[in-house]
Amino acid sequence: MLRQPLPPTIIPAVARPAKTAPLLQPFKGLGLLRGRESDDDWFPIEFLTYHDEKGKLRSFAYVRKEDGSDIPDGHYFFMDELGERTFRCRKWKGKWQFGWRYRAE
């Protein structure tokens, strides 16, 4: 006797609904960066960041000097090209972290 396979059963308590959050929006721009030591100078950078639907910064895709050279790991202050927003960030093990996202891994 042949039997038809039963359709899969979905248990609502276990199944997760699909995320309905909008995608992050990319933003490419220019800014200034300097080490957190008081005698460090500001230097120009270019960056690509991702923001949520409210315009809040969520992640850095890349940050590099305008001449294309790499930025060493360390603690930095970032300022946008208009000088309106400044925040702390750090590069650790080649990855950028900022403000409340500082983590020791």
Q: What is the pLDDT of residues 61-88, one digit of tens each?
A: 788 888 888 888 888 888 877 776 677 8
How many whole angstroms separate alpha carbon 84 and alpha carbon 34?
16
> Which of 101 and 98 is assigned the larger pLDDT?
98
pLDDT band of 101, cuts 50, 70, 90: very low
Global pTM value: 0.59
- Helices vs. strands in the chain: H and E counts, helices first: 0, 6
Choice between 102 and 82, residue whose per-residue pLDDT is larger:
82
Per the DSSP assignment, residues forming a β-bridge with 29 are 47
What was the pLDDT predicted at 93? 86
Question: Comparing C-alpha atoms, which of 70, 96, 92, 79 is closest to residue 42?
Answer: 79
Question: Measured between alpha carbons, how far is 67 from 59 in angstroms, rounded to an integer?
Answer: 22
Count of beta carbons in the 10 Å neighbourhood of residue 40: 13
- To 5 degrees, how large is the angle CA 34–CA 37–CA 84? 40
At residue 69, the pLDDT reads 83
Confidence of residue 52 (pLDDT cuts 50, 70, 90): confident
